[in-house]
Amino acid sequence: MKRIISILILIQLGLVAKAVTVDFVATNACFGAPIQFTGSCSLPDNQIASWNWDMNNDGVFTDALGKSISYTFQFADTFKVSLQIITFTNEVYTTTAPKTVLVYPIPVAHFLANNACFMQPTTFTNKSAITTGTIASCAWDFNNDGKIDNTSFNPTYIYPTSGSFTAKLSVLSDNGCTNTTSLTVNVNQNPLADFTFEKTCLGDVTHFSDLSLINIGSIISHSWSFGDQYLSSDVNPDHQYSNSGNYTVSLIAISDNNCRDTVTYNVLILANPVINLHFNPDSIVYGGTPVYVKTIGNYASKLWSNNSSADSIIINQAGSYSVAVTDFHGCKNERTFDIVTKAATSDIVANNVMTPNGDGINDNFIIKLIDGFYSVEIKIFDAWGNAVYSSSNYKNDWDGTSQGKVLPAGPYYYWIKANDIVYKGCVNILR
């Protein structure tokens, strides 16, 4: 009983030793950032001679000294940290167990950009990485103006002007660690594509002349499309079209920085003039009959094979002839034709019966091969010798009437003069 009372008295007087506790607080941090460590002890500070730290769990408490320290670890990892105190009476107390401190890795910010051209999209390829954890977010500043332009992982951007720009990428890990990198992006000028061409006629070669320009750099290739499925990579190509009409021709000029520009023009290929000829009396005539040949149409110039430049010529003998014409666009064409002669017959061949009833059969008095004669003069008489019809240039058009009146059925007699030869005969009108 006396012993218990003695212990109670000692406790009340504070003479029984209590257990000494040592602890500290610290926050996790990203690599490179100092971590604040603050120690604590159940003993009053005036009894503590030193605060000693073991930052790498090697049992040696000489890595840092002080109750509150700022410590920077040399690499990112998980560290076991202990704190030891020594009193002025050389009593040593240590944390009951090492405490875990995390040093997070810094992400490696890295990216690539493709060759950029003015007003064409530049693709940014994000190559950022981290040893542990993940890349949580990205922030892009494409023109170094301090503003975030995009937060995608692999964005695209169209620069509004050419020149050199500093693009920046900031990445943030899932543990809040950041890193930033920058890259100079050169926005190259586009070439100015242009060309000229000669208006040409069908059959001629159209020449295209490149007029493309670029202020910085050089144009290294050309891509032509002539609008008719044909292509060319020549600088100043020639092309011949197979048909007349409008063609959409385009040129793509490509610079040494792979920047490009396209220009398109409509190219008109003019049709060659059509040559129509009139033959009088015909291109096939009886021997000795002159042939009058005339061009039909309006041309800037003509040249016949006999070197005449007139609108028409007279041909007196058989053979092959030609005429070349040029229209008012400068397009040309040439036509070859033949004049054929036949031997004249001794007699006129004409029908001897007419049935002018409008059925299209024997309605007119027909002289066969009449176009083979240079001129045909005809007179028709009735049985009493009265003239009922006459023509100085007969065209197989007498239909059995006289001055618009229908002639009665019966025999009628003709007198024909063809190529100065006179023929006589009879034709009967049947009704």
* DSSP conformation letters of 122-182: EEEEE--B-SSS-EEEEEEETTSSSS--B--SS-EE--SS-EEEEEEEEEEETTS-EEEEE
Check whether 369 has a pLDDT greater than 80. Answer: no
Delineate the domains of the chain, giving CATH numbers in brackets.
18-104 (2.60.40.10), 111-188 (2.60.40.10), 197-270 (2.60.40.10), 276-342 (2.60.40.10), 353-429 (2.60.40)
What average pLDDT is seen over the chain?
Answer: 91
Give yes or no for residue 6 having a pLDDT over 60: no
Report the side by side order of strands in the sheet with 276-280: 276-280, 291-296, 312-315
| 240-257 tens-digit pLDDT | 999 999 999 999 999 999
Under DSSP, the state recorded for 21 is: -
- Cα 261 from Cα 189, distance rounded (Å): 10
Q: Is the pLDDT assigned to residue 11 strictly greater than 80?
A: no
Task: Write the pLDDT tens digit of every residue in 334-363.
Answer: 999 999 887 655 567 888 999 999 999 999
Whether the CA torsion 202, 207, 208, 209 is positive or negative: it is negative
pLDDT at 56: 94
pLDDT > 80? residue 1: no
- CA dist 208 to 201, 226, 239, 243, 384, Å? 14, 10, 8, 18, 81
**Is 16 a residue whose pLDDT tops 70?**
no
What pLDDT band is residue 9 in, cutting at 50, 70 and 90? very low
Amino acid at 277: L
Q: Is 45 left (phi over 0), alpha (psi -120 to 50) or beta?
A: alpha
Lowest mean pLDDT among 27-36, 178-187, 317-326, 363-372: 363-372
Query: What is the average pLDDT across 50-70?
Result: 96
Amino acid sitting at position 162: S
- DSSP per position, 25-40: EE--EETTS-EEEEEE
Indicate if the pLDDT at residue 374 is higher than 70.
Answer: no
Q: What is the mean pLDDT of residues 61-70?
A: 96
Q: Is the pLDDT of residue 146 over 80?
A: yes
